[in-house]
Chains A and B, each alone.
Chain A
Amino acid sequence: MNLTLLVLIAVLPLVGAILAGLFGRVIGRAGAHTVTILAVATSFVLSLHVLKQIYLDGVPAFDGPVYSWLISDGVKMDVGFLIDRLSTLMMVVVTFVSLCVHVYTIGYMSDDPGYTRFFSYISLFTFSMLMLVMSNNFMQLFFGWEAVGVVSYLLIGFWYTRPTAIFANYKAFLVNRVGDFGFVLGIAGVFYYTNSVGYAEAFAAAPKLAHAMLPLTSNTSVEAITLICICLFIGAMGKSAQVPLHVWLPDSMEGPTPISALIHAATMVTAGIFMVARMSPLFEQSETALSFVLIIGATTAFFMGLLGIVNNDIKRVIAYSTLSQLGYMVTALGVSAYSAGMFHLTTHAFFKALLFLAAGSVIIGMHHEQDMRKMGGLAKYMPITAITSWIGALALIGTPFFSGFYSKDTIIEAVGESHRWGATYAYWCVLGGVFVTALYTFRMIFMTFHGPERFRHADEAHSSSHGHDDHGPIEPHESPLVVTGPLIALAIPSVVIGALTAGPILFGGYFGDSIRVLENNDVLAELGKDFQSPVQMALHGFAGAPFWLAAAGVLTAWLFFLYRPQWADVAARKLAPIRNLLLNKYYFDWFNEKVLSTLARGLGFTLWKGGDQVLIDGVLVNGSAATISWFGSIVRRVQNGYLYAYAFWMVIGLAVMLGWFLVRS
Chain B
Amino acid sequence: MQGFLSFLIWLPIAAGIVVLVLGDRHIGAGRWIALVASIVTLLISLPLLAHFNSGTPDFQFVENLPWIARFHANYALGVDGISLPLVVLTAFITIPVIVAAWTVIEARPAQYFAAFLIMEGLMIGVFSSTDALLFYFFWEAMLIPMFLIIGIWGGPRRVYATIKFFLYTFLGSVFMLVALIYMYVKAGDYSIASFQALPLTLVEQRWIFIAFFLAFAVKVPMWPVHTWLPDAHVEAPTGGSVILAAIMLKMGGYGFLRFNLPITPDASRQLDLIIIALSLIAVVYIGFVALVQQDMKKLIAYSSIAHMGFVTLGAFIVYQIVRSTGGLQGAGMGLDGAMVQMISHGLVSGALFLCVGVLYDRMHSRQIADYGGVINTMPIFAAFMVLFALANTGLPGTSGFVGEFLVILASFKASFWYSLLAATTLILGAAYTLWLVKRVVFGPVGNSKVAALTDLNGREFGVLAVLAVAVLLVGIWPAPLLKIMQPTIHHLVDQAVASKIPL
Contact = CB atoms under 8 A, between A and B. Distances in A.
B326 to A, nearest CB: 13
B266 interface: no
Nearest to B387: A150
B17 A652 contact: yes
A263 interface: no
Contacts of B324: 215
A607 B288 contact: yes
A631 interface: yes
A644 B423 contact: no
B409 A191 contact: yes
A147 B397 contact: yes
A178 interface: yes
Q: Among the interface residues B141, B160, B292, B401, which one has the most CB atoms of the partner chain A within 10 A?
A: B292
Task: Give the interface centre of B162, B331, B405 by most chain A CB atoms within 10 Å.
Answer: B405
B224 interface: yes
Interface in A217-266: 227
A660 to B, nearest CB: 11
B291 A185 contact: no
Contacts of A617: 227
Contact of A611 (B66, B285, B386, B411): B285
B349 interface: no
A161 B482 contact: no
Nearest to B490: A73
A255 to B, nearest CB: 13
A184 B426 contact: yes
Contacts of B214: none
Interface string A167-193: 100100110011011001101110110
Nearest to A76: B479
Contacts of B160: 635
A71 B482 contact: yes
Contact of B227 (A170, A216, A621): A621
B48 interface: no
Interface stretch (B37-45, B145-153, B249-257): B145-153
A616 B227 contact: yes
Nearest to A192: B412
Interface residues of A, number: 76
A631 B477 contact: no
Contacts of B435: 170
B279 interface: no
B227 A178 contact: no
Given A146-B396, A147-B396, A161-B443, A635 B163 contact: yes
A638 B151 contact: yes
A139 B405 contact: yes
B390 A74 contact: no
B207 to A, nearest CB: 22
B27 interface: no
A188 B397 contact: no
A143 interface: yes
Contacts of B6: 662
B291 A604 contact: yes
Q: How large is the interface on B (under 10, 10 to 19, 20 to 34, 35 or more residues)?
A: 35 or more
Nearest to B425: A181
Interface stretch (B85-93, B187-195, B357-365, B413-421): B413-421
Nearest to A217: B417
A34 B26 CA distance: 53
Contact of B75 (A160, A167, A662): A662
Contacts of A26: none
A191 B159 contact: no
B342 interface: no
B478 interface: yes
A254 B434 CA distance: 18
A665 interface: yes
A607 B288 CA distance: 8
Contact of A655 (B141, B424, B441, B489): B141
A644 B148 contact: yes
B390 A185 contact: no
A650 B333 contact: no
Q: Which of B291, B413, B481 has the most CB of A within 10 A?
A: B291
A634 to B, nearest CB: 6
A647 B285 contact: no
A644 B151 contact: yes
Interface string A47-71: 0000000000000000000011111
B162 A638 contact: yes
A607 B482 CA distance: 37
A70 B478 contact: yes
A608 to B, nearest CB: 4
A42 interface: no
B477 A69 contact: yes
B172 interface: no
B332 to A, nearest CB: 3
Given A73-B336, A188-B412, A163 B444 contact: yes
Contacts of B137: 654, 658
Contacts of B122: 651
B375 interface: yes
A532 B285 CA distance: 61
Nearest to B10: A659
B442 A160 contact: yes
B459 interface: no
A22 to B, nearest CB: 9
A214 B289 CA distance: 33
Given A177-B427, A665-B65, A161 B412 contact: no
A72 B482 contact: yes
Given A70-B482, A600-B288, A608-B289, A665 B396 contact: no
Given A170-B434, A600-B431, A665-B65, A639 B482 contact: no
Interface string B94-115: 0000000000000000010000
Contacts of A635: 159-160, 163
Nearest to B228: A621
Given A73-B332, A195-B329, A188 B141 contact: no
B295 to A, nearest CB: 12
Contact of A600 (B17, B66, B291): B291
A304 B386 CA distance: 33
A157 interface: yes
Interface string B336-364: 11000000000000000000000000000
A73 B395 contact: no
A601 interface: yes
B53 interface: no
B373 interface: yes
A72 B291 contact: no
B461 interface: no
A661 interface: yes
Contact of B164 (A187, A608, A621): A621
A173 B430 CA distance: 8
Contacts of A187: 409
A75 B333 contact: yes
A648 interface: yes
A652 B122 CA distance: 11
A621 B166 CA distance: 13
Interface in A539-573: none
21 contacts: A68-B479, A70-B482, A72-B336, A73-B333, A147-B397, A154-B386, A157-B442, A161-B442, A161-B445, A166-B438, A166-B442, A189-B416, A608-B289, A617-B227, A621-B227, A634-B163, A638-B151, A644-B151, A648-B148, A654-B141, A655-B118
Given A166-B442, A184-B423, A638-B151, 7 more contacts: A143-B397, A160-B443, A185-B412, A185-B420, A192-B413, A635-B163, A638-B163
Interface of A: 67-75, 139, 142-143, 145-147, 150, 153-154, 157, 160-161, 163, 166-167, 170, 173-174, 177-178, 180-181, 184-185, 187-189, 191-192, 195, 197, 214-216, 227, 600-601, 603-605, 607-608, 611-613, 616-617, 620-621, 631, 634-635, 638-639, 644, 647-648, 650-652, 654-655, 658-659, 661-662, 665
10 tightest Cβ-Cβ pairs between the two chains A and B: A73-B332, A188-B412, A604-B292, A143-B396, A73-B333, A604-B288, A166-B442, A604-B291, A72-B336, A651-B144
